[in-house]
Structure 1
Amino acid sequence: MAAMTITRTMLRDLPLLPKGGTKYRIFDDRLVGFIAEQRQTTITFYFRYADARGRRHEIKLGRLGDVTVDQARKRAEKLKAEVSLGGDPAADKAKLRAIPSVEQFVAERYLPHVRERLRAVVNVEAYLRKRIIPEIGRKALDEVTPQDVAELRSKLIAEGLANGTINRHLATIRAMFNLALRWELYQGRNPAASPGMLREQHRDKYLSSAETRALVKALDADKDPVAAAVLALLIVTGARRGEALNARWEHVDFERGLLTVPRSKSGRPRHIALSPMARAILQRQFAVRALAPNNPYVFPSRKLPGQPVEGVRGAWARAKKAAKLPEDLRIHDLRHSFASVLANSGTPLNEIGALLGHSQLSTSSRYSHHSPQRLIDTATVASRAWNLVPEPDAA
């Protein structure tokens, strides 16, 4: 090791390394920390410094030929100034290298996190696998920009996906980066903070009283009483299909009139209130439990021991046809019908939300327009309080 001024001429005139020698280091006598390291076939530049804790670090500046002596010196000068101002270039570089790619973050951190909390994780996995990862997966978290998100959004639109499906993709990206920021995996902003959500048109299809009675009658006569009972429970509780299919006897409390869902769509437990009719449906199932005494499910499979009924699509199709209901009526529309009739009867939105297990009042507010007269009557309260409502004409 020697100390001298590192110049292009000096490096050009360096003698070859002695036989058996591996490297020879030259420390610049003008810029402390600037080093040229000679090996058998290359010369590489480094900058050495000590951090605030006295730990020594070296940063590789490049090989001669890839960079010039002057370029390496200028880079070393810049790093020395940064250190003098309290910086730690090596730590900053290590921190950048530690930032995972989107694909790595999703596999190692994000999906394990959401699998513990979301019931609908299958949808999230599909959004990531099919479209999000192929588009931005190779980029580090801090490299993804709002423009990247905008381009993905444009591709989803061009693909012809429904607005709601596009919004679910964008919401997944937003949630993913929010977690990465919360866990301090990188510094910056969420590139999907304002992803440009599209306007969604909710599909409004609700059963009338006559249609509901016809459907219940058709279910009572269906050849599959277990599947029919599932659908009947959905009609009178507004429960989700999966909540009914996966109901177990340990979750039924006849005394309190509750069916507990240990893990709802939001990932949290929820309690389904059982009306007298809902309780009667469950009691009928309990009465025939002797047919499957070892099956823990309220609606047991007739084919697979210890498993719930496989599905209800067959019973649904037969009942719709027998009740002369629209072919495009979905099982999930039973949940909307339940909420709609509550709204029309004047049930407050917060109570509807509690019954349906909505985590946000905005989700329940979509049913408010189904009770216009109730809203008109409520709006009239203010005018009546001000004595602005005209008195009816005397008979």
Structure 2
Amino acid sequence: MASIRERIDASGKKKYHVQIRLKGFPPQTETFNSKTIAKQWAQRVETELREGRYMPHALAQRRTVKEMLESYRDRVLIPTKPKRVRDQGQQLQWWIDKIGRYSLADITPAIIGQYRDELLATTFGKANPKKLAPATVVRYLAILSHAFSVAVKEWEWLPESPMPKVKKPKVSNGRVRYLSADELARLRAAAAASENKFLPTVIEVAVATGMRYSEIMNLRWRDVLTDAQGRCSLAVLEETKNGERRGVPLLGTAQVALDALRLAHKQANGDKVSLDTLLFPSAAKKDAPVELRKSWETALKRAKIEDFRFHDLRHTAASFMVQSGATAPEIAEVLGHKDLQMVKRYAHLSKDHIAGVLSRMNQAMLAGPPVTAEASRDGS
């Protein structure tokens, strides 16, 4: 129970001293200028003590946001996610510069929302200045949110995170640019003529598997498993965007391309496979993947393909899977998505499965004529 005692300080002002005693917990005390605030504090602390959520305000008051973010960078980001340090380290530094001076007790959703809006208004580029995309701002908020979560759950530096009350910008995932069969043929031809010997293989693997650029370029021969015939059969991805280990089967053009690459590697290494070697190593930098940007852009120009990024090869693989009859869960598993939200963007590419559902419903419930895929498309 809480007891509130009125006291007079040396200057003659009224103070309200609160003491909370609950069995199994150490006494909690605090002094306030207002009796109303004293009662509110007592009620909140009693509730949090019983629910196991209470943390002394003084602890959060002593720590700053800068301390939290620097500790997060040193204790979480660098040891566990070294490949994300460059991008996420910059994001952390931005937050340190903006809100690092606040104590953890004083940081509020309103303050974070103010700087979220500043991010949304930020422009980059001199010739054609553009605002940061909402998706980029969401990533800035995500790293801050994770830092707060760690500080709350693991370090117990503050009782709760302010991030759940901060609204995220709406992100539109409407863009789905993928290659047509003709564009793919032109890109293959242009890649075959490239001075970069790895470009054709990288493109084949990307289109045939839907793997991300970083996943492909960081593959080592130890990550590529072979079958009984010695053919490349599975790529094991130890480090993925969502942090989960994933196996990607190598079939068709991806298998053929990697088989040829593996054979060339063996011939250059005394008929042996150096397991620690990257599949696509740089000739200029030790233990680093080859740089493909220039050769990729040149191939796109030669193939006369516009408004296309390397990541769109992943969209191409997903789009081809949809048009081949793959279900959303199957595509999510291949691409390594944790949920189906990202896969929904491809649903419009094939209405056959929707037409089948409507046809069965018509026959069973409405006694109407079957709905064909052709009729569905004609009516859309």
1: CA distance between counterparts of 2:177 and 2:288? 29
2: CA distance between counterparts of 1:115 and 1:145? 27
1: CA distance between counterparts of 2:191 and 2:311? 16
Q: Secondary structure at the match of 1:140?
A: coil
Contact 1:117/1:268, CA 8 A, preserved across alignment: no
2: CA distance between counterparts of 1:95 and 1:196? 27
Q: Which residue of 2 aligns with 1:218?
A: 190
Q: Secondary structure at the match of 1:288?
A: helix
Q: Secondary structure at the match of 2:111?
A: helix
Match 1:124 to one of 83, 88, 101: 88
Q: Which residue of 2 aligns with 1:21?
A: none
User: In 2 relative to 1, CA 194–345 (structure 1 residues): closer, same or farther, beyond 3 Å?
Assistant: farther
Give the residue type in structure 2 aligned to 1:378: V
Answering whether residue 141 of structure 2 is matched by residue 170 of structure 1, we say yes
Contact 1:101/1:139, CA 8 A, preserved across alignment: yes
1: CA distance between counterparts of 2:313 and 2:351? 21
Match 2:27 to one of 66, 81, 87: 87
Contact 1:238/1:334, CA 8 A, preserved across alignment: yes
Match 1:299 to one of 275, 280, 289: 280
Fraction of identical pairs, as percent: 25
Q: Which residue of 2 aligns with 1:185?
A: 156
Give the residue type in structure 2 aligned to 1:82: Q
Match 1:383 to one of 353, 358, 362: 362
Superposed CA RMSD: 2.9
Aligned-pair CA distance for 1:112: 2.5
Answering whether residue 215 of structure 2 is matched by residue 273 of structure 1, we say no
Give the residue type in structure 2 aligned to 1:386: M
Q: Secondary structure at the match of 1:361?
A: coil
2: CA distance between counterparts of 1:339 and 1:391? 29
Q: TM-score, normalised by structure 2?
A: 0.75
1: CA distance between counterparts of 2:74 and 2:358? 47
Q: Secondary structure at the match of 1:89?
A: strand
2: CA distance between counterparts of 1:196 and 1:92? 27
Match 1:140 to one of 103, 113, 137: 103
User: In 2 relative to 1, CA 265–121 (structure 1 residues): closer, same or farther, beyond 3 Å?
Assistant: farther
Answering whether residue 338 of structure 2 is matched by residue 359 of structure 1, we say yes
Answering whether residue 302 of structure 2 is matched by residue 322 of structure 1, we say yes
Q: TM-score, normalised by structure 1?
A: 0.72
Contact 1:261/1:271, CA 8 A, preserved across alignment: yes
Give the residue type in structure 1 aligned to 2:278: Y
Unaligned 5+ runs, structure 1: 1-46, 48-60, 62-66
The superposition leaves residues 49-83 of structure 1 with CA deviations (integer Å, 9 ceiling, x where unpaired) of xxxxxxxxxxxx9xxxxx73545xx65xx44x627
2: CA distance between counterparts of 1:171 and 1:139? 19
User: In 2 relative to 1, CA 363–122 (structure 1 residues): closer, same or farther, beyond 3 Å?
Assistant: farther
The superposition leaves residues 174-231 of structure 1 with CA deviations (integer Å, 9 ceiling, x where unpaired) of 2222222222624544222032222222322111111112212222232221233222
Contact 1:226/1:309, CA 8 A, preserved across alignment: no
Contact 1:260/1:271, CA 8 A, preserved across alignment: yes
Contact 1:142/1:188, CA 8 A, preserved across alignment: no
Based on CA coordinates, which of the two structures has the bigger radius of gyration? 1
Q: Secondary structure at the match of 1:129?
A: helix
Contact 2:151/2:158, CA 8 A, preserved across alignment: no
Match 2:221 to one of 232, 249, 252: 249
Answering whether residue 311 of structure 2 is matched by residue 332 of structure 1, we say yes
Matching of residues 89-104 of structure 1 within 5 Å:
89=29, 92=56, 95-96=59-60, 99-104=62-67
Aligned-pair CA distance for 1:332: 0.7
2: CA distance between counterparts of 1:239 and 1:124? 22
Q: Secondary structure at the match of 2:164?
A: coil
Aligned-pair CA distance for 1:148: 0.8
1: CA distance between counterparts of 2:370 and 2:218? 56
Aligned-pair CA distance for 1:151: 0.7
